[in-house]
Amino acid sequence: MTDVYRALFVERWPWWAGGVVIGLLVPLLYWLHNTALGASTGYGTLIKVVRPGTKLKWLNSATFADRWGWRLFFVGGIVLGAFIAGRLGGRPPVTAEMGLFSAYVDWPAALKGLFFFAGGGLLGLGARIAGGCTSGHSIHGIANLHLSSVVATVFFLAFGVLATWWVRMMLFGGGS
């Protein structure tokens, strides 16, 4: 395996390289597709794919009119890109591991699943109420100097710190 291959596909990229690529996506998506970088709205599209007949007004707004539209492709692209990264990096294709969480928490699998389901639920509900997520608000929004994105991001981070310390103290026994 060459050093170049290892640096690109096996070793973790330095933070600045990831920041440059993701930062460039913001103007690039406007220039090529006139659209904002963002992930969370795609979940509305995914719901429309599963439940096309839903009567809920918000899911029938113009944003989700084309459920097989580009949002679905962008969301699918994220999964595909990470899948390719995993394959090229020689990592196992499927794993029950979740880092420190698996190392410290020995709950039955169903309870672990429920815990991550609850976390995901708060992410989904919170992102919709706040109007975006880490990519839409924190990166795209602040890069465009939107005040609402700065407020949302301050609360993302503040409550992320609180919840993480709760996990550290209550579930990891204070260690890591």
Tokens linked to 149? 């994105």
Pick 52 or 69: Cβ nearer another protein:
69
Alpha-carbon span 12 to 18, nearest angstrom:
10
Closest CA to 37 of 28, 45, 47: 28
User: Residue 81 Cβ, how far from another protein at the closest point, in Å?
Assistant: 3
- Cβ-count burial of 120 within 10 angstroms (0-12 exposed, 13-18 middle, 19+ buried)? exposed
CA 26 to chain centre: 16
Site for another protein in 96-135 (CB under 8 A): 96-101, 112-135
- Give the chain's length: 176
The verdict on 174 binding another protein (CB under 8 A) reads: no
CA distances to 9, 74, 76, 119, 127 from 82, in Å = 11, 13, 10, 21, 22
User: Residue 3 Cβ, how far from another protein at the closest point, in Å?
Assistant: 16
Site for another protein in 14-33 (CB under 8 A): 14-33
Pick 2 or 31: Cβ nearer another protein:
31
Binding string, residues 43-82; x marks residues near another protein by CB under 8 A: xx-xx--x---x-xxxx---------xxx-xxxxxxxxxx
Q: Which of 5, 6, 52, 91 binds another protein (CB under 8 A)?
A: 91
Tokens linked to 151? 């407020």
Q: How many residues bind another protein (CB under 8 A)?
A: 126
Q: Which of 5, 6, 52, 151 binds another protein (CB under 8 A)?
A: 151
